[in-house]
C-alpha cells in the first residue's frame, strides 16, 4: 500500500513538473521568433532535467539508418540518418537538420553521436510536427580545433578536414533525397556547436540557420554570416568553453546580423540541457527560418 502511495506521489510530482515546464515554455513564446540577447535564471529542477534527458535518450538508435560516405580525399565518414514521416509534406520535400556532436562522441562506432540533440527530432511529438531528415555524422577526430585569437584575446575555432567532408555529404544527400534546399539547418553542442559556426562560415550558401550550444565561434569569416540567422546558447559559468568568445561574437554581429543569444545564469558546460532547450523551442525556431 505504501509503495502504491509513493508511486502515485511520484506521478503527481512528475505531472506538476511537466505543467511547470509547459508554463516556462509558453513564457518564452514572445521571444521565440526574435533576435537579441536574453538571460535566463539558472534552471534548478535537476529531476525534471534528468527525466527529460532520459526520455530523449531512450529513443531507439534503430530509427536512424546507418551509412558511410567517402569524401573528396578518400576519407570515410560514418553517419546516421533519420527519415521524415512519409506523406507528411504535401510537396514531398523536407528540411534537413545536421547535428554535430561533441568531442565525447568522437569514434567509429556510428552510435555515440546519437545524443539528445539528434534524438530530440525523433521524439514522437516533435517528429509529427517537425518532420525532417536528421543527419548525424560521426567524426573520427576533432571537427573543430581552438586557438587564441591574438587580436581579440579570446578563443576562436578552426574547421578541420572531417567537417568539410560532412559538408560534401550534405551536397551528396541533396542530389539523391527530396531535401528542401532552402531549409537546411545546423545544430551542435560543445565541439559540435563550434562546428556549426565553422560550417556556416565555410558554406553560407548551404544553410538557412544554425544553433550553436556552448561552442567556440569562428571570427575570421564573420562577413559570410550576414544573411544567416544564428542562435547562440551558453552558460555563463562554463569553464570548458568559456562564454567570453560567444559574448564577443554576439557583440560584433548584433548591429547588422540576424543573431540571437540565450545566456543561462550560473550554468556550467554539462548542465546546459534544461527542459527549456530540449523542447519544441529548437525545431520551432529553426523551421521558422528559410533562405531568401
DSSP E strand boundaries for 42-93: 64-70, 76-82
Domains of the chain: 31-287 (3.40.50.1820)
Q: Are 146 and 57 in contact (CB under 8 A)?
A: no
Report which of 125, 101, 134 is spatially closest to residue 115, judged by C-alpha positions: 101
* pLDDT value of position 5: 41
SS3 state of residue 134: strand
More confident of the two residues 279 and 30: 279
Per-residue model confidence as pLDDT tens digits over 263-283: 999 999 999 999 999 999 999
Residue 44 has pLDDT above 80, yes or no: yes
Residue 33 has pLDDT above 60, yes or no: no
* Mean pLDDT, residues 129-149 taken together: 97
Q: Are 148 and 52 in contact (CB under 8 A)?
A: no
* pLDDT value of position 89: 65
CA distance 101 to 189: 6
Instruction: Provide the terminal-to-terminal Cα distance of the chain, rounded to the nearest Å.
Output: 62
CA distance 26 to 32: 10
- Other residues' Cβ atoms within 10 Å of the Cβ of residue 124: 8
Phi, psi values for residue 145, rounded to 5°: -115, 155
Residue reference for cell 560534401? 168
Cell of 75: 576519407
SS3 state of residue 85: coil
* pLDDT value of position 25: 43
* pLDDT value of position 43: 86
Residue 24 has pLDDT above 50, yes or no: no
Residue 92 has pLDDT above 80, yes or no: yes
Per-residue model confidence as pLDDT tens digits over 176-232: 999 999 999 999 999 999 999 999 999 999 999 999 999 999 999 999 999 999 999
Residue 71 has pLDDT above 60, yes or no: yes
CA distance 123 to 58: 10
Report which of 213, 100, 216, 82 is spatially closest to residue 155, judged by C-alpha positions: 216
CA distance 141 to 162: 7
* Mean pLDDT, residues 77-84 taken together: 97
Provide, rounded to the nearest whole percent, the portion of the chain with pLDDT above 70.
87
Residue 16 has pLDDT above 50, yes or no: no
Provide, rounded to the nearest whole percent, the portion of the chain with pLDDT above 90.
81
* pLDDT value of position 72: 78
What is the pLDDT of the chain when averaged over all its residues? 89
Close Cβ partners of 262 (under 8 Å, ≥ 6 residues apart) = 37, 38, 39, 40, 231, 232, 233, 234
SS3 state of residue 167: helix
Q: Out of 5-14, 162-171, 216-225, 282-291, which region has the weakest mean confidence (pLDDT)?
A: 5-14
* pLDDT value of position 209: 98
Cell of 104: 565525447
* pLDDT value of position 292: 75
Q: Out of 15-29, 224-238, 254-268, which region has the weakest mean confidence (pLDDT)?
A: 15-29
Amino acid at each position: 500500500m505504501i509503495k502504491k502511495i509513493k508511486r502515485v506521489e511520484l506521478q503527481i510530482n512528475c505531472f506538476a513538473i511537466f505543467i511547470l515546464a509547459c508554463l516556462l515554455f509558453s513564457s518564452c513564446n514572445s521571444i521565440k521568433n526574435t533576435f537579441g540577447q536574453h538571460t535566463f535564471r539558472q534552471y534548478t529542477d535537476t529531476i525534471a532535467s534528468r527525466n527529460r534527458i532520459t526520455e530523449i535518450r531512450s529513443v531507439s538508435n534503430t530509427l536512424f539508418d546507418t551509412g558511410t560516405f567517402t569524401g573528396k580525399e578518400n576519407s570515410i565518414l560514418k553517419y546516421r540518418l533519420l527519415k521524415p514521416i512519409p506523406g507528411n509534406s504535401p510537396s514531398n520535400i523536407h528540411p534537413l537538420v545536421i547535428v554535430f556532436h561533441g568531442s565525447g562522441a568522437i569514434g567509429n562506432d556510428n552510435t555515440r553521436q546519437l545524443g539528445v540533440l539528434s534524438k530530440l527530432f525523433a521524439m514522437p511529438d516533435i517528429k509529427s510536427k517537425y518532420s525532417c531528415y536528421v543527419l548525424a555524422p560521426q567524426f573520427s577526430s576533432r571537427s573543430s580545433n581552438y586557438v587564441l585569437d591574438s587580436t581579440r584575446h579570446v578563443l576562436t575555432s578552426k574547421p578541420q578536414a572531417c567537417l568539410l567532408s560532412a559538408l560534401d555529404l550534405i551536397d551528396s544527400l541533396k542530389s539523391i533525397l527530396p531535401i528542401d534546399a532552402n531549409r537546411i539547418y545546423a545544430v551542435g553542442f560543445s565541439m559540435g556547436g563550434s562546428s556549426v559556426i565553422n560550417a556556416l562560415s565555410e558554406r553560407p550558401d548551404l544553410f538557412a540557420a544554425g544553433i550553436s550550444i556552448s561552442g567556440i565561434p569562428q571570427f575570421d569569416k564573420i562577413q559570410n554570416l550576414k544573411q544567416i540567422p544564428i542562435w547562440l546558447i551558453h552558460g555563463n559559468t562554463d569553464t570548458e568553453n568559456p562564454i567570453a568568445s560567444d559574448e564577443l561574437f554576439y557583440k560584433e554581429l548584433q548591429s547588422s546580423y540576424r543573431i540571437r543569444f540565450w545566456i543561462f545564469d550560473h550554468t556550467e558546460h554539462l548542465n546546459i540541457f534544461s527542459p527549456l532547450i530540449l523542447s519544441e523551442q529548437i525545431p520551432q525556431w529553426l523551421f521558422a527560418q528559410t533562405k531568401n
